[in-house]
A and B are shown apart, each in its own frame.
Chain A
Amino acid sequence: MHELPIVKSIFDICVKHATANNAKKILSVTLKVGEVSDLQDQWIQRYFDYLSKGTIVEGAKLVIKRVPLVMRCKLCSESFQVNVNERRQVECPRCKGTKLAYVSGREYIVENLEIV
């Protein structure tokens, strides 16, 4: 359910940038979404289509790039990729430390727009 306010935010960003660039139409929108997010791609597109009806955004295709979860060990500074489904037993592969910080994986970014 929380897809809707997030999609509204994506929609607003698209309209703002398309208008500022005198676009007639938006062809595609590339999003960068961290793997930790539980947003479902198909729902994002459905809500987006619903919101964009009758606007310059109508018909735009969402391209969703998933950003892998990367963590950094606070002890030895090693950065490493983590399988989201195995997050429960994460430890540093180099020093076995468990004090970790997020490097990436929680992004919600509108990367770019393709317009005409």
Chain B
Amino acid sequence: MEEIRLIEVKENILSDNKSKANELRDRLRSTGTFMLNLMSSPGSGKTSLILRTIEALKDELCLGVIEADIESIVDSEKVASRGVKVVQLRTGGFCHLDATMVSEGLNVLGPQDLDLVIIENVGNLVCPAEFDTGAIKNAMILSIPEGDDKPLKYPLMFTVCDVLVVNKIDAMGVFDFDLRAFEKRVRALNQNIDIFMTSCKTGEGINSWVNWIRNELKAFSTLA
């Protein structure tokens, strides 16, 4: 009878991605490129917010966008039409981006010439929260029609983000969205998260959001 041996491993399953993400952040610091990972469910306005952000910042910053979609390229066509550098990653069924995929996208964009790169992650409130993309900051959108109960259903996403954009506030009157209850639920998970209210349709609140990016960029370039 063969002897059964027990080997102690104690290895973190996600450490491979985590170390790749850390390498990527080092690289971004060396090129002075601020990368923002934008996450949300499908249809909450990621592409619209990116287009609004490009519009506001394209004269003062060099921008790049990494688009992730399971199949189509419609988003990258929209973004490219605004004259910024864009790379489309088709995840081929994967529900999230990881640091390796983002790193490849960044190679195509050429980060040395860029001040700001926005990642449009796959529309999904679950899996992207588990995978560090190597971004400097994580942002999420929650749109009014999705409901104020989402922090209860997808707590990890609200926990890992540095900033939350509440979009489609122009539709507030149509939906029973309890903003106070929502904010309380978010704060219970993440005390320090910055929250902005926007409507990509009317443009309301976009200035405050864009100023947040400007300030983060300033803080980042002082540190880098």
Contacts and interface: CB of A to CB of B under 8 A. Distances in A.
A52 to B, nearest CB: 15
A38 B75 CA distance: 29
A90 interface: yes
Given A1-B127, A13-B9, A17-B9, A116 B4 contact: yes
Contact of A110 (B11, B17, B155, B185): B11
B6 A110 contact: no
Given A2-B95, A2-B131, A87-B189, A21 B7 contact: yes
Contact of A9 (B14, B95, B156, B187): B14
B105 interface: no
Interface string A73-98: 00000000000000111100000001
B93 interface: yes
A60 B113 CA distance: 49
Nearest to A18: B7
Interface in A15-74: 17-18, 21, 23-24, 27, 31, 36-38
B150 to A, nearest CB: 11
B13 interface: yes
What interface size band does chain B fall in? Answer: 20 to 34
Max chain A C-beta neighbours (<10 A), residue from B2, B7, B130, B131 = B7
Contact of B14 (A6, A17, A99): A6
What interface size band does chain A fall in? Answer: 20 to 34
B12 A108 contact: yes
Contacts of A17: 7, 9, 11
A89 B189 CA distance: 9
B188 interface: yes
Interface in B6-57: 6-14, 16-17
Given A13-B9, A114-B5, A2 B127 contact: yes
B210 interface: no
Max chain B C-beta neighbours (<10 A), residue from A18, A37, A110 = A110
Contacts of A115: 4-7
Contacts of A114: 4-7
Contact of A6 (B7, B13, B93): B13
A38 B5 contact: no
B6 A109 contact: no
B93 A109 contact: no
A99 B130 CA distance: 22
Max chain B C-beta neighbours (<10 A), residue from A5, A23, A27 = A5
B151 interface: yes
Contacts of B11: 13, 17, 109-110
For the complex of A and B, list the 5 residue pairs with the smallest distance between their C-beta atoms, beginning with the closest: A2-B127, A108-B13, A1-B95, A116-B2, A110-B9
Interface of A: 1-2, 5-6, 9-10, 12-13, 17-18, 21, 23-24, 27, 31, 36-38, 87-90, 98-99, 107-116
